[in-house]
């Protein structure tokens, strides 16, 4: 597991897994989580106290899957699909972008985030993807603040290409809220 992966979203992932085991889906888990502190249109803000971590998260408004040039959306099963931006004052993370596609990514593949005609690359590891460094995180966050939607394209370990489209309505407000809650 990468250094970026070790710090991120452990509390949320545990809450989400607990909600799924209790019979709710990912969207319901986001709504029902006890550490959800705000909703900003299409983005939710969560806070974990130990260690201090604040993040904004959203599920896609739409998604599709393709294999060999054909639409296979109805045939593809996926877990939770979520786009995060995280603040962890204890580890210096200030706006770390991450994505989970609900499946294991193809080994050695990258995920592409497209916002307003600009593309950004994220490396993959297991079911998670991140930009390579803090400068890339900052560029993606700034593009998300200015954009209307973000589209993440990735390839599963089975060779299926997925295209997830996230609304950015409420993104800036969610980031301001999350960042202020984790200010040192």
pLDDT tens column, 48-76: 988 899 999 999 999 999 999 999 999 99
Q: Is the pLDDT of residue 16 over 50?
A: no
How confident is the model at residue 62, as a pLDDT? 97
Instruction: Give the tokens for residue 88.
Output: 């962890």
Angle between helices 171-181 and 134-146 (to 10 degrees): 130
Tens digits of residue pLDDT in 104-117: 999 999 999 999 99
CATH classification code of 3-181? 2.60.40.1880
Predicted local confidence at residue 24, as pLDDT: 43
Mean pLDDT score, 82-94: 92
pLDDT in tens, 23-54: 444 444 444 556 899 899 999 999 998 889 99
Give the tens place of pLDDT for each residue, 126-178: 999 999 999 999 999 999 999 999 999 999 999 999 999 999 999 999 999 99
Q: Is pLDDT at 80 greater than 50 in this prediction?
A: yes
What CA–CA distance (Å, rounded) separates 130 from 178?
19
DSSP type of residue 73: G
In the chain the beta strands, taken as DSSP E runs, fall at 36-40, 43-49, 52-58, 62-67, 70-71, 82-88, 93-100, 110-115, 118-125, 128-130, 149-155, 161-167
| Residue 20 three-state SS | helix
- Dist. CA 101–CA 163, nearest whole Å: 10
Map out the domains of the chain as residue ranges: 3-181
Confidence of residue 184 (pLDDT cuts 50, 70, 90): low
Q: For residues 82-90, give the mean pLDDT.
A: 94
Residue in this structure with the two tokens 């400068």, named with its chain if needed: 135
Tokens 């250094």 found at? 3
Q: Residue 10: its pLDDT value, please?
A: 44
Tell whether the model's pLDDT for residue 93 goes beyond 90: no
For residue 90, the model assigns a pLDDT of 85
Contact present, 101 and 111 (Cβ < 8 Å): yes
pTM of the model as a whole: 0.84
């Amino acid at each position: 597991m990468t250094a970026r992966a070790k710090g991120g979203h452990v509390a949320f992932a545990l809450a989400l897994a607990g909600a799924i085991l209790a019979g709710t889906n990912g969207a319901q888990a986001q709504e029902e989580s006890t550490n959800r502190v705000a909703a900003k249109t299409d983005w939710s803000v969560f806070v974990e106290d130990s260690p201090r971590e604040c993040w904004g998260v959203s599920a896609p408004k739409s998604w599709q899957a393709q294999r060999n040039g054909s639409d296979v959306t109805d045939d593809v099963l996926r877990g939770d699909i979520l786009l995060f931006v995280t603040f962890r004052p204890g580890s210096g993370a200030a706006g770390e972008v991450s994505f989970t596609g609900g499946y294991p990514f193809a080994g050695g593949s990258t995920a592409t985030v497209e916002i307003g005609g600009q593309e950004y690359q994220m490396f993959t590891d297991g079911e998670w993807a991140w930009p390579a460094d803090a400068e890339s995180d900052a560029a993606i966050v700034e593009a998300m603040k200015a954009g209307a939607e973000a589209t993440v394209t990735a390839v599963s370990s089975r060779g299926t290409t997925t295209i997830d489209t996230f609304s950015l309505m409420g993104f800036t407000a969610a980031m301001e809220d999350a960042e202020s809650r984790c200010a040192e």
